Each structure stands twice: as C-alpha cells, then as structure tokens.
Amino acid sequence: MLTLAIETSCDETSCAVIRDGREVLSNIISSQIEIHKRFGGVVPEIASRKHIEIINNIVQEAIDKAEVEFEDIDLIGVTKGPGLVGALLIGLSTAKALAYALDKPIVGVNHMEGHICANYIEHKDLKPPFTCLIVSGGHSYLIYVKGYTDYELIGRTRDDAAGEAFDKVARTLGLAYPGGPLIDKLAREGNKDAIDFPRVMLEKDSYDFSFSGLKTAVLNYINNMEQKGEKIVVEDVAASFQQALLDVLVDKSFKLAREKGSNKLVIAGGVAANSGLREMMESRGKKESVDIFYPSRTLCTDNAAMIGSAAYFNYQAGNESDLHLNVNPNLSLN
Ligand code: KG4
Ligand code: ZN
C-alpha cells in the first residue's frame, strides 16, 4: 500500500511516499530555518507563506523521487495538529485536493503520533507494546504504547517542553535558533558537573515534567555572573543545563518502563536527536536490560515519512477521515 503524506505543522514543508507504513520511497524536507533564524524563532505568518509557495513543488518532487505516478497512490496522510494553524491549513488543503482529485481515502494524523511512528520506519521489527518518551519543540510526553494506534498518556510537561527549554536557554546564551543542536554540540566540550542546576522531579509518583524552573535557574546564573563581571564558560553552562534536563527525562522514562514491566524504551521527537540523551539511555538500558530505540536524526525532527507511517497504521485500524477533516492546533495525544 502506497501512502503519500504531507507535513506542514511548523517550519518544515515535507512530502513523502512510503510503502506499507515502514519503507520510505521518498521523504522530501524543505526547512525554513534560515528564514526564521533572524527572528530568533518561528514567525507563524511567514511559515504559512513559505509553505504555500513551495508545497506543490515538494509534492511533485516526492512523487518523482519515489518513481511512482499519482495514480499509484492508495492513501493520503496529512498532519492535522498540533501545530501552527495557518501552517497546518496549507498541508491540509493540499492533501484534501489530492484525495478529492485522485478519489483516494484521507487520514488526518496527530503530529506527535507521527514522531512515535518514525521508529517503525527505522526499526523494521519494532512492535508495541513499549514505553515511549516523546520530546519535541512544543511537547513532552511519557506514554505507554499498547498498540499501533492505542496510547496511554501517563506524563506530560506542565510548562515548557524539553525542546523549548533547549531553545530558550540557547537564546540566552546568544546562540542561533534552533538552539537544541548547538547546545548538544557545546555540551560535549563542557563540564556537566560545573554548575548544579535543579532536577525538578515534582510529586513522588508523578510522571509529569516541569522545565521552566531549570530554565529560570540558568537565566539567573547568567545574570548573576554578568553582574559580578565574571566570565561565563558557555560550554559548561550548556553541559550542566543539558545534564540536569536529561537526568529528569531518563529517570522518569526508566521508572515508567519498570512500572510497566516493559523491556523496550523508545524515544521520539526532535530532542531524541540529542547525543547526550541517546548515550545516557543506552548506558542505563544496558544496566537495566532494557532495549533502547530511536530514529536516525532526519527522522527525529519533523518530516512527512513519519506522518505517512502513522496514516497507514490508522487506516489499518479503521480511522479514516473524510473531506470535512479540519486542523486542530491544540490537538492532544488522547
Ligand atoms: O520534533 P521537532 O522537529 O519539532 C516539533 O514538533 O516541535 O523538534 C524540534 C525541537 C527544537 O526545540 C530543537 O531545538 C530540538 O528539537 N532539537 C534538539 C536537537 N535537535 C533538535 N534538542 C537537543 N539536541 C539536539 N541535538
Ligand atoms: Zn515535531
């Protein structure tokens, strides 16, 4: 079964063709990062305009690269939320037009579900159930994946998402947008024990996250150092901040895996590209006999192939949409 999928929830315009939910024939990703960089973050109105300028070319490119014809496509998948409303609408309108013109079924996909499915593309034998940590720019979730479209949402962020904390701290350090990959790189050169930033675990049995206190602690540290006229070692701040955040993510993920008796732990979303997170998960996984899964870097950050995979599994489960499908910028996982 061939799925053509479209992703335009934020600042990547992407279209993919995938076979049977797991095999990527093409995955074209056009990033707007260079345009948004100068504003220090994504400007929603500019994002929508850029999507509309190039979406038709990206769709054509995905078809050409996959070496298929539009008539070969069996299913259209599209991100319906969460994300920027104007940006989502460009992808949705394009997907609806294709579904109508080709007379093919359409499935609206939750973007966060797409992030999980990136792992099915990367790991051909991976099957639910498993414990999953999804950490992106806008959301952080701890979930138990019971089936391909069946999720138990157990923890979520109460304030800033993990990626958001990376981006905000990076901005304070004078780094470019998006800050996550830059902090990742600097952290490798710094001392993670140099500054003792807080690890906010919340109530004893809570699987929720809160990163705004950590973010504020980093800002206060920088302000204090500047007031005292002392030199800030950016690498040490990056390493100490990253370690504080990762300690919380890793601890809670393993605690949930233990509670569920699950020996598979899957990470997903843009922050799953973080080298420190991958290393920590793997070394703790070895000690606790838990297998760790994460997608390659291109599949961690936003792309349409993961949306195609989620559309396929939802179609198999009977979750077909129709042409009344609308976007939902605040869509939750369940
Ligand atoms: O999943 P994603 O591409 O978009 C959303 O759905 O939000 O995630 C983007 C987020 C950004 O906050 C970015 O800074 C972060 O993922 N990110 C990273 C790394 N690569 C991307 N954070 C830490 N380390 C990285 N290597
Ligand atoms: Zn995303």
- Choosing from 140, 166, 241 the residue with most ligand 1 atoms within 8 A of its CB, the one to mutate for a pocket test is 166
- Any ligand 1 atom below 6 A from CB of 83: no
Query: From first to last of its 334 residues, what are the pLDDT tens digits of the chain?
Result: 999 999 999 999 999 999 999 999 999 999 999 999 999 999 999 999 999 999 999 999 999 999 999 999 999 999 999 999 999 999 999 999 999 999 999 999 999 999 999 999 999 999 999 999 999 999 999 999 999 999 999 999 999 999 999 999 999 999 999 999 999 999 999 999 999 999 999 999 999 999 999 999 999 999 999 999 999 999 999 999 999 999 999 999 999 999 999 999 999 999 999 999 999 999 999 999 999 999 999 999 999 999 999 999 999 999 999 999 999 999 998 7
Q: Are 237 and 220 in contact (CB under 8 A)?
A: no
Return the residue matching tokens 């936003």: 302
C-beta of 138 in contact with ligand 1 (< 6 A): yes
Distance of CA 46 to the CA centre of its chain: 21
Compute the distance between CA of residue 222 and CA of residue 213 in angstroms, rounded to an integer.
14
> Does residue 86's CB lie within 6 angstroms of at least one atom of ligand 1?
no
Is the peptide bond preceding residue 44 cis, with omega within 30 degrees of 0?
no
Q: What is the C-alpha to C-alpha distance for residues 183 and 177, in angstroms, rounded to an integer?
A: 11
Amino acid identity, residue 165? A
pTM: 0.97
pLDDT the model gives residue 117: 98
The model's pLDDT over 128-162, given as tens digits with 9 standing for 90+, comes to 999 999 999 999 999 999 999 999 999 999 999 99
Residue having the nearest C-alpha atom to atom 8 of ligand 1: 270
Give the full edge-to-edge strand order of the sheet including 264-268.
150-156, 140-147, 130-135, 264-268, 291-293
